[in-house]
Amino acid sequence: MTLSQFLVLSAGLFSIGVYGVLIRRNAVLILLSVEVMLAAVNINLVAFGQYLENTGRFAEGTAASGQVFALFVITVAAAEVGIGLAIVLLIFRNRSSVNVDELDALKW
Amino acid sequence: MVNGISLMLAESNVEGLARDFGDGGLLAEGAWLIVVVPFVATLAITLFGKRLPWKGAELAVGAVVFALVYGGALLLTSWFGDGIVHEGSVKIGEFGGFEVEWGWVVDGLSSMMFFVVGLVSTACFVYAVGYMKGEVRWTAFFASFTLFAGAMLMLVSAANLIQLLIGWELVGVSSYLLIGHYWEEKENSSAAIKAFIVNKIADVGLVIGIIIAAITVGTFSISEIIQRVVESDSELDDVAAIIALLLFVGAMGKSAQFPLHVWLPDAMAGPTPVSALMHAATMVTAGVYLVARMFPLFHEMAPGVLDLVLIIGTITLVIAGLLAIVQDDIKRVLAYSTLSQLGYMTAALGAGAYTAGLFHLFTHAFFKSLLFLGAGSVIHAVHSNNMSDMGGLRKYMPRTFWTFIIGSLALAGIAPLAGFFSKDEILASFNEANQPIVLLLGLVTAFITALYMARAVFLTFFGEYKGQGSPHESPAIMTVPMMVLAGFAVVAGLFNVPGQIGAFNEWVSTRFVETVGASEFLGEHATSFDVPVLLLGLLAGLAGIYLGYRLYYPDAATQKERDRLYVRGLWPVLENKYYIDDLYMEGVVNPIKGPIARFIDWTNSYIIDYVVNLVGMFTRVVGKVVYGVLDQRGIDLAINEVSAGAGFLGGKLRYIQTGKIQQYATWLFLGAVALVIGFWIKVT
Amino acid sequence: MEWFDNGWGLSLVVFLPLVGALALLAVPKDEEDTAKWVALLTASASLFFAIVAAFRFDYGDAGTFQLGTVKEWIPAIGSNFEIGIDGISLPLLVLSTAIVVLSIVYSWDHWPEPHNPKGFLILILFLATGMAGTFVALDLVLFFVMFELVLLPMYFMIGIWGDKTKMKLPGFNHEVETRLYASIKFFLFTLFGSAFMLLGFLALNFRGGTFSIPELTALGANGAFTGTFAFLVFGALFLGFAVKVPMWPFHTWLPDAHTAAPTVGSVLLAAILLKLGSYGFIRISIPILPNEARDWAPAIAILAVIAIIYGSLACLAQKDMKRLIAFSSVGHMGFVMLGIATLTPVGITAAVIGMVAHGVITGMLFFLAGSMQHRYHTREMARLGGNLKLMPVLGGIFGFTAMASLGLPGLAGFWGEFMALLGSYEPLAGLSLGVFRTAMVVGAIGTVLTAGYLLWMLQRVNLGEPSEEWANHEFHDADRFELVAWVPMLVSILAIGIYPKIITGPANDAVKAMIETAF
């Protein structure tokens, strides 16, 4: 399998994620879309990591760093989703809605 | 006369001194008292004279009596001894290399002056005690009067020019105080100012003369300067003529020589004892004394100036004598007479007749003060200065009359009274100096002198009384001094009878007789009478009296003398004092006081100050412009505009902030895309 | 007395009044007597120490600075607290401290409106420190500070206690309150000069590397300052000092300030403040920049005689007594400047004695004018007359002082005038004889005009019958406060006149030493 296949998959996933963030109104779904984008990034990281290792371009002692990064991202994403969902929950309690279009109190 | 040679002569290197002088001993060493006592008395009278029983007069009289006694003692010591030459000094200050000293010189000349000043002052002071009774400001009068005498003594005793100047100006200021004694009348205070200012103008000359002399010689000491004259110092010789000229300008002021004579007649505004003292001893003689004191300088180094002295003296003696004929005020007659006699003295000095000039000063002091006191006595009796208010006083005031007659005859030069000898000697000196014109004018003026004195006597004492009230003889306190002076007016001439008694000649010559070569200007006169001149002079005097008698005696009652002697063309000029006063007032004083002073003040306000104010105004205008235009409408405006622009922009830009997260995300995304595109373009 | 000679004595003289002023701040406004006593005591203490200094002074060595000290003051700019007096500053120091005491005594019962003795006394004491400080300062920065310190109190004195009438500016349509116009004019005029003076001081520091006057004098004598630089520096100093003197044509602040100022303000202004300028010439300009002094001297002499004649003529046109006396100051200071311009020991000694004499005499005249204004409520001479009749003592003193002012020999004013003229007959070698001798003649003629206006003033004010306006008016003659304040001045007028050595003794040696070093 070539690198470009992974990259195409990743780009597709990312685009789907972006689409979801920009279009969806539901805050939960936006968070989901963000997860999709992070997944796309993870695919990229792993793919590049493997690619660089295969071509032998890593310096000594830095092998599999792409995979390690991906693991970090997954961890951070989990935490992020945890906090994000908590915020969404609080918003829902206050306003009985998680429609981001209505959450514009920070405007001019 | 311990070691026989004076301080000054001891320093001189001139060989062959023929004469030894005494040093005067303790008497001369203490001569500073003559000067100090009157000044202390002045101060004492000023401070607590009012609390004394006689309100200060006793201190005044005491001071001048002291001067008289001391001066007399010095004179007698000098006369019976070998003469005195003594100089003492105290240092009072230093300016650069110049030491200022207060010094006193005792020699024949100053002893003679001490005596004259002392005697005349004593007579006038005692007289004044009677005369000033009931007058305003008694104490102030005696304070000024004592200062007057003290200042003159200071001048006379001066061993250096700066002290001479001090005495000189103090004489001026005390004359100011005395002439203006009745200052309630503006006329009197104006006369006082006139006297002071005219003297001050002359003092400009004196001051500059002293400065030049002091710088050239390096000291103010008179004996040092004379010493340089003796040594024919070339440096001094170069400027001697200027110095002599300037000193003489000073002398012209004090001694009221033409054209600075204008103050003296006006000075009659003062009380009569003041006039007597001023005209006889303390003020007008100062100029003559100065020329005499510095005579070697004039004689040896500035003969040209001496000629000028002669000319000025001659002019003065003639024009003043003429003026005396037309006066109605008896004191003015005497005032112009003084001017005329001062002209004689000055002219005598100018002709080189040192002794003759001083001798006339000596005799004149007695009979002129006598005449003034007599006039004062008359004025005291009739309460008017004008002879048209007098007449016939012979009967009412016999003592005044007889003393006045003696004074008049002495002044007219009738033998054997004092004026005869001195005037004759002056006329003889004119002859000696080969000045026929001056001699002629001197004789004519001798005639005029006799004429105006005869006129004054006849109008005052003969005929009928024309004034108000009944006149009475003055008290003894006034007449006794007059009699004493009358005595001196009779005998003073005998001190210097040519070929017989030479006392006076020796007194006044002691100081520099040997150093300068006495024979040149002192020696020859004294040996014999110049008989033709003597007879002519006597004749002129008698003729004047006779003419006066013819003109005024018959008319003394009706006062028609104007018709009798009226020279068309000349009389109006005389009555207007040759228009000299008018010339000074209109030509000099008023322009300076009026337009010139106002112009200067105007320039101050409208030019210099205008510029200052203009700068101030301009600065304020600039300030306004800077504030209004540059600051408020420039810098501040720009600042405000910038902030307003920022606000405006913000107002526009804030619409971007919708609060919609997805919009923000869109922008973010688009931005990322743009960046990617940018990179891409950059890379390719 | 070791401590006294080490600068503490002079410091006490200078700063005691300041201490007094600060103490006065603590005195409540209503307790006027306390305020007066505090002021009088501190000023008298200052005078006392000045007199002690005069006794401690070594007259045999009058040419060197004595009783002084050098302490570090502002190290950042190299300025030290350097003080000391020589024979030139000693008489002026004593004069200034004495006049302050006499002013306070005089004020005791003569408070100008709007009263407030506390404020007035504080200003006087500040002035005292500034004046005494200027005369002892031997450091240019210290000198400048002290020189400027006198400005503010005088400004407030004129501006607050001054003449409240309105005046029209000649040539303009403005009408302003006299005191405001005069005080601002005084302040700005002087400050204008001072600014240049400060520039000059800084320039000297940059070139010479020090602010110390003795050090700069030594440098100047060795020719350290030359060329255009020195010429400009002298010009800058000249502007600063000439305004203060004041020399013609920088004098126009003077008549206005004097006319508007309260009596004591006029007295201090005439007696001391004007001397700061001429003192500056003697202490700073001439010794530090001798060659430039030589270049400038003819110009100074010409301006000086112009001032003499101009001031006298202007006096003849005055209707206001105080204004007349103010203009007479212009003339008299002209003689002082003429003496200085000769650059000879004679002339500069004459200037020193002239400064002291003018201080006493003109100060006295302003006291008298103030007292008369206090009684007549006018200064207009046309309305006065017969003063001698109404108030014999006051009038007599007025006559005496006027005589002193016209330079009567035997009184203080004579020596300065005569010796200045003497000096200008033979100025320093190399100076134009033509200019100086002409100046001498013109100056001598000026004495005639001086006599003229003073006698005329006496005639208008003192003599004659009192006008109807005052004839039946009850006047009190000089009171005891006035007499206590005046008698010392009158005595010193007489004493200096009779025995000028009081002043010339120390001054002459100092001046000779200074001229010797400089030329």
Q: What are phi and psi of C52, to 5 degrees?
A: -60, -40
Q: Give the structural domain span for A15.
A: 3-101
If you average pLDDT over residues B416-440, what whole number do you get? 84
Determine the pLDDT at residue B519: 39
Q: Give the 3-state secondary structure of C188-210.
A: HHHHHHHHHHHHHHHHHHHHHCC
Query: What is the C-alpha end-to-end distance of chain A, expressed in Å?
Result: 51
Q: Yes or no: say if C350 and C422 are a contact pair by the CB < 8 Å rule.
A: yes
- Summarised one tens digit per residue, pLDDT across range C230-247 is 999 999 999 999 999 888
Q: Which residues of chain A have pLDDT under 50?
A: none
CB contact B652 to A (< 8 Å):
no
Q: Look up tokens 């514009």; give the residue.
A: A104
Specify whether the backbone of C335 is left (phi greater than 0), alpha (psi in -120 to 50) or beta.
alpha
Q: How many domains does chain C have?
A: 1
Determine the pLDDT at residue B2: 28
* Closest of C297, C314, C329, C494 to residue C414, by C-alpha: C494
CB contact B14 to C (< 8 Å):
no
- Summarised one tens digit per residue, pLDDT across range C176-222 is 888 888 898 899 889 989 999 999 999 999 888 889 999 999 998 88
pLDDT-derived band of residue C381, with 50, 70 and 90 as boundaries? confident
User: What 3-state DSSP class applies to C162?
Assistant: coil
If you average pLDDT over residues B559-578, what whole number do you get? 66
Q: Do A106 and B666 touch (CB under 8 A)?
A: no
* Closest of A90, A75, A11, A20 to residue A43, by C-alpha: A11
- Summarised one tens digit per residue, pLDDT across range C415-435 is 999 999 999 998 988 888 899
User: Residues of B with CB below 8 A from A107's CB?
Assistant: 657-660
CATH of the domain at A86: 1.10.287.3510
Which range is least confidently modeled, B604-618, C148-162, C314-328?
A: B604-618
Q: Give the 3-state secondary structure of C366-423.
A: HHHHHHHHHHHCCCEHHHCCCHHHHCHHHHHHHHHHHHHHCCCCCCCHHHHHHHHHHH
Determine the pLDDT at residue B506: 65
pLDDT-derived band of residue B565, with 50, 70 and 90 as boundaries? low
Does residue A75 fall inside a structural domain?
yes
Instruction: Looking at the complex, report in whole angstroms how far the Cα of residue B639 sits from the nearest Cα belonging to chain A.
Output: 26
Determine the pLDDT at residue A1: 74
Determine the pLDDT at residue B511: 52
pLDDT-derived band of residue B513, with 50, 70 and 90 as boundaries? very low
Determine the pLDDT at residue B18: 39
CB contact C403 to B (< 8 Å):
yes
What distance in Å separates the CA atoms of residue B76 and residue B74, rounded to the nearest whole number?
Answer: 5
- Summarised one tens digit per residue, pLDDT across range B136-179 is 788 888 888 899 999 999 998 888 898 899 999 999 888 898 88
Q: Look up tokens 């002339």; give the residue.
A: C347
User: What 3-state DSSP class applies to B206?
Assistant: helix
Distance of CA C189 to the CA centre of its chain: 16
Q: Which of B655, B660, B669 sits opposite A104 (nearest CB)?
A: B660
Q: Do A21 and B662 touch (CB under 8 A)?
A: yes
List chains adjacent to chain A, taking adjacency as at least 3 C-beta pairs closer than 8 Å.
Answer: B
Determine the pLDDT at residue B22: 62
Which range is least confidently modeled, A92-101, B528-537, C270-279?
A: B528-537
Determine the pLDDT at residue B556: 53
* Number of residues that make up chain C: 519
Neighbouring CB atoms inside 10 A of B250's CB total: 28
Query: What is the C-alpha end-to-end distance of chain B, expressed in Å?
Result: 134
What distance in Å separates the CA atoms of residue B68 and residue C365, rounded to the nearest whole number?
Answer: 38
- What are the residue ranges spanned by the domains of chain B? 582-667
Beta strands B86-95 and B98-106, pairing class: antiparallel
Chain C residue with Cα closest to B619: C188
Determine the pLDDT at residue B528: 61
pLDDT-derived band of residue B13, with 50, 70 and 90 as boundaries? very low
Q: Give the structural domain span for C398.
A: 2-518
Mean pLDDT for chain C overall: 90
What distance in Å separates the CA atoms of residue C418 and residue C350, rounded to the nearest whole number?
Answer: 8
Instruction: Select the more confidently predicted residue: B333 or B565.
Output: B333
Q: Two tokens at C427?
A: 């100025």
Instruction: Select the more confidently predicted residue: B597 or C20.
Output: C20
Determine the pLDDT at residue B675: 95
Q: Which residues contact residue B48 at a Cβ distance below 8 angstroms, ignoring those fewer than 6 apart?
A: none
List chains adjacent to chain C, taking adjacency as at least 3 C-beta pairs closer than 8 Å.
Answer: B
What distance in Å separates the CA atoms of residue A43 and residue A48, rounded to the nearest whole number?
Answer: 8
Q: Yes or no: say if B149 and B126 are a contact pair by the CB < 8 Å rule.
A: no
Determine the pLDDT at residue B564: 55
Q: Do C455 and B196 touch (CB under 8 A)?
A: yes
Q: Is residue B348's pLDDT more than 60?
A: yes
Q: Which of B654, B661, B666 sits opposite A100 (nearest CB)?
A: B661
Q: Two tokens at C46?
A: 């200052």
Instruction: Looking at the complex, report in whole angstroms how far the Cα of residue A61 sits from the nearest Cα belonging to chain B.
Output: 31
Beta strands C66-74 and C166-168, pairing class: unpaired
Q: Is residue B527's pLDDT more than 80?
A: no
Distance of CA C451 to the CA centre of its chain: 21
pLDDT-derived band of residue B19, with 50, 70 and 90 as boundaries? very low
If you average pLDDT over residues B610-624, what whole number do you get? 84
CB contact B657 to A (< 8 Å):
yes
Rg (CA), chain A: 18
If you average pLDDT over residues B250-260, what whole number do you get? 87
Specify whether the backbone of B463 is left (phi greater than 0), alpha (psi in -120 to 50) or beta.
left
- Summarised one tens digit per residue, pLDDT across range C452-476 is 899 989 888 888 888 887 878 888 8
Chain C residue with Cα closest to B596: C313
Q: Yes or no: say if B301 and B241 are a contact pair by the CB < 8 Å rule.
A: yes
Determine the pLDDT at residue B500: 59
Residue A25's alpha-carbon distances to A19, B663, C397, in angstroms, are: 11, 12, 108
ipTM of the complex, rounded to two decimals = 0.91
Q: Do C508 and B610 touch (CB under 8 A)?
A: no
Q: How many domains does chain A have?
A: 1
Q: Two tokens at C55?
A: 């006794």
Specify whether the backbone of B111 is left (phi greater than 0), alpha (psi in -120 to 50) or beta.
alpha
Neighbouring CB atoms inside 10 A of C483's CB total: 16
% chain C with pLDDT above 90:
54
Q: Do B659 and A21 touch (CB under 8 A)?
A: no
Determine the pLDDT at residue B567: 66
Q: Yes or no: say if B521 and B299 are a contact pair by the CB < 8 Å rule.
A: yes
Q: Which residues contact residue B611 at a Cβ distance below 8 angstroms, ignoring those fewer than 6 apart?
A: none
What distance in Å separates the CA atoms of residue C461 and residue C382, rounded to the nearest whole number?
Answer: 8
User: Residues of B with CB below 8 A from C345's CB?
Assistant: 95-97
The DSSP string of B32-100 is: HHHHHHHHHHHHHHHHHGGGSTTTTHHHHHHHHHHHHHHHHHHHHHHHHTT-B-EEEEEEEEEETTEEE
Determine the pLDDT at residue B6: 33
- Write down the pTM of the prediction: 0.84
Helices (H), B353-435: 354-382, 393-396, 398-412, 418-432
- Summarised one tens digit per residue, pLDDT across range B103-140 is 888 877 888 888 888 899 998 888 888 888 877 788 88
What distance in Å separates the CA atoms of residue B583 and residue B314, rounded to the nearest whole number?
Answer: 22
Does residue A19 fall inside a structural domain?
yes
Q: Do A22 and B655 touch (CB under 8 A)?
A: no
pLDDT-derived band of residue B620, with 50, 70 and 90 as boundaries? confident
Q: Is residue B17's pLDDT more than 60?
A: no
Q: Is residue B561's pLDDT more than 80?
A: no
Residue B348's alpha-carbon distances to B205, B214, B287, B323, C65, in angstroms, are: 22, 27, 13, 21, 58
Instruction: Looking at the complex, report in whole angstroms how far the Cα of residue A19 sits from the nearest Cα belonging to chain B.
Output: 10
Distance of CA A8 to the CA centre of its chain: 16
What distance in Å separates the CA atoms of residue B117 and residue B112, rounded to the nearest whole number?
Answer: 9
**Is omega for the bond preceding B259 within 30 degrees of 0, making it cis?**
yes
Chain B residue with Cα closest to C253: B609
Q: Is residue B566's pLDDT more than 70?
A: no
If you average pLDDT over residues B197-208, what whole number do you get? 91
pLDDT-derived band of residue B517, with 50, 70 and 90 as boundaries? very low
- Summarised one tens digit per residue, pLDDT across range B472-482 is 888 888 888 88
